[in-house]
Amino acid sequence: MGMKAKFRPLMVVSREDPDAERALSVCVPCTTTVRGGNYEVPLPRVKWMPGPHDGVANVLGIESVEHHRFDRRAGRYEVSVLEAVRKRIAWMIEI
C-alpha cells in the first residue's frame, strides 16, 4: 500500500479486523535502500517497488497508519514473506 502524496511502499503487518475500535493498520516501510542490518527483512523483487533491485522491510520504521491515508493497494507479498517480517518484529520487541 502507499500513502497519499509521495508514493511510499508499506507492508501492512497487522491482522485484518473489520470490527476494530479504530481504523488503523500497523505497517512497516519497504525500501530498496539495503543497509544489511538486523532490522531488515529481505523482500523479493516485485513490480510495484521502484527500481530494478530486491528490497527490504525496515521493521525499525514500524508505524500505525489511519486507513484513510492509504491511497491504493499496490500488491500482495507471499504469506511466507509476511510471516518473516512479523517474526522479525517479534524479535525486535522481544516477545
The model carries a pTM of 0.87
Q: What is the pLDDT of residues 23-72, one digit of tens each?
A: 999 999 999 899 999 999 999 988 888 778 889 999 999 999 999 988 88
pLDDT confidence of 6, banded at 50, 70, 90? low
Q: Evaluate if residue 3 carries a pLDDT over 70.
A: no
What is the topology classification, in CATH, of domain 2-92?
Answer: SH3 type barrels. (2.30.30)
For the beta carbon of residue 83, count every other beta carbon within 10 angstroms. 12
Q: Can you read off the three cell numbers belonging to residue 17?
A: 479486523
pLDDT confidence of 5, banded at 50, 70, 90? low
- Torsion, Cα 36 48 81 28, to 10 degrees, reads 70
- Let me know: does 3 contact 65? Beta carbons within 8 Å: yes
